[in-house]
Amino acid sequence: MTQENKKRGIGRRKFLTGAALAGAGTLAMPQISRAQTTKLTMQSSWPVSDIFQEMAQQYADRVSEMSGGRLEIDLQPAGAIVAAFSVQDACHDGVLDAAHTVSAYWYGKNKAASLFGTGPVFGIDGAQIIAWFQYGGGQELYNELVQEVLGLNVVGFYAFAMPTQPFGWFSREPTSIEDIQGLKYRTVGLSADLNQAMGLAVTQLPGGEIVPAMERGVIDAFEYNNPTSDRRFGAQDVVKNYMLGSYHQACEAFELIFNKDRFDSLEPELQAILRYAAEAANTANYGLAMDNYSKDLQALIDDAGVNVKRTPQSIMEAQLEAWDKVIEPLMEDDLFKRIVESQKAWAERVGFYSLMNSADYKAAYDHYFPGKLTY
C-alpha cells in the first residue's frame, strides 16, 4: 500500500469513527428531549410581595434544577386558587398538587398541629425542632396526625428554621404585663391560646389582612413574623413600637405539603428531590432571611423612626407561665401528649448540649460593638 493510500485509509477510518460517534449522539439526544416534564401546581399562604413567597420560589427553583427540568413547580401566591388558610384542604382534595404554608394555619382541626411550628418553647430553637422532626421521631408523629388521626391525603416536610418571631407591633410600648391586658391582638396557632391566657383578645388573620385591620381599628396590636415581611406590609406606617424577642413563636418552620396520591405517583427519584430540596431550601431560606431581616430592621429604625425595643423580661416570663397553663389540659389527648413528651425529651438532651457548648455571642458582640445593644 502506498503512502498516499495509507493516508486515505486512516482518513476514512477517522471519518467513519467520527460518524459513528455523531450518530450515537443523535440517537441519545431524542431520549433526553423526550424525557417527560412533570408540573406540580403549588400555592403558598403568602402574598406575592412577602419575602416568604421568595423563599417558596427558592424551593421551586431547586426542585427544577436538581431534576434537570423533569420536575417543575408552578408556584402561585395566596388567593390565586384558594384562600391562604385553605391550602391544606385544597391539597387533600387534589385542587392543588402542593402548598407552601405553616402548620399553625390548620391548628383548628387539631391543636397538635401547632406543635410542629408554633408550640411551647422547651429551650431549643427552630433549627433544633427541624432536627427533631428529622431525627427525633417528629416525622412519624406528623404522619400519624395528618394521615391517621385526620385522615388527610397529604404528605409533608419542613424547611427553614425561622428565627424567633418578634412579639410584634403596639400602639404604645408595653413595659409590663398590665400594658397588654385586653388588647385586640393578631396571631395564629397555639399562640392564640397562649395570648388569650395572658389576657389579650386574639384575632387570627392571614398576613395580607393585618395592616388593613390595624387601620380600621379591628386590632390594636399584631405579630406576623419578621422585620422584612412587616416592613413590606407597611406596619411602620400604622404603628411605631416594635417589640423583639418572645416565646409565643420561637421555633416555627415552613410546612411543604403535597397531595399524597400525586406524590406517590411520581418516580422515586423525583420524590427524593421534593424531599431533599426542602433541606436545600432550608439553608437558602435562612441565608436570605439573615441578609434581609437585618437590613430591614435597620431601615425601620433609621428611615421610618420605629421604636425598636426588646420585649421586657417580665412579659417573657409570663409567656412561659402561660404556656404551662395552655399545655396542661391539652395533654389529655394521647397524641398531643406523645408529641410534647417527644419534644421535651429531645429538648432536654439537645438543649443541654447546645446551651452548655454555645459561645456567649452577646458578650462577643458587646466586645466588638460596645453600647449598641440596649438590653
* pLDDT of res. 204: 86
Domains located in the chain, CATH noted: 37-161+251-290 (3.40.190.170)
pLDDT of residue 279: 97
Return the exposure string of 130-157: e unless at least 16 CB atoms fall within 10 Å of the residue's CB, then b: bbbbeebbbbebbeebbeeebebbbbbb
pLDDT for 117: 82
Q: How many CB atoms lie within 10 A of CB 303?
A: 11
Query: What are the beta bridge partners of residue 70?
Result: none
pLDDT value of position 81 = 98
Per-residue pLDDT tens digits for 213-232: 989 999 999 999 999 999 99
Distance CA 268, CA 274 (A): 10
What is the residue-level pLDDT of the chain in tens, covering all 375 positions?
545 444 444 454 444 444 444 444 444 443 433 468 999 999 999 999 999 999 999 999 999 999 999 999 999 999 999 999 999 999 999 999 999 999 999 999 999 999 998 899 999 999 999 999 999 999 999 999 999 999 999 999 999 999 999 999 999 999 999 999 999 999 988 999 999 999 999 998 888 888 899 899 999 999 999 999 999 999 999 999 999 999 999 999 999 999 999 999 999 999 999 999 999 999 999 999 999 999 999 999 999 999 999 999 999 999 999 999 999 999 999 999 999 999 999 999 999 999 999 999 999 999 999 999 988
pLDDT at position 208 is: 82
Dihedral (CA of 201, 204, 207, 208) sign:
negative
Instruction: Single out the residue of 99, 134, 129, 131 nearest to residue 116, CA to CA.
Output: 129
- Assess contact for 99 and 324: CB atoms under 8 A: no
Q: Burial, 358: exposed, middle or buried (Cβ in 10 Å; 0-12, 13-18, 19+)?
A: exposed
The predicted structure's pLDDT at residue 35: 66
Cα–Cα separations (whole angstroms), residue 239 to 40, 63, 155: 40, 39, 39
**Of 253, 32, 76, nearest in space to 158 by CA:** 253
Answer whether 63's CB lies under 8 Å from 186's CB. Answer: no
Question: What pLDDT is attached to residue 205?
Answer: 86
How many whole angstroms separate alpha carbon 22 and alpha carbon 28? Answer: 10
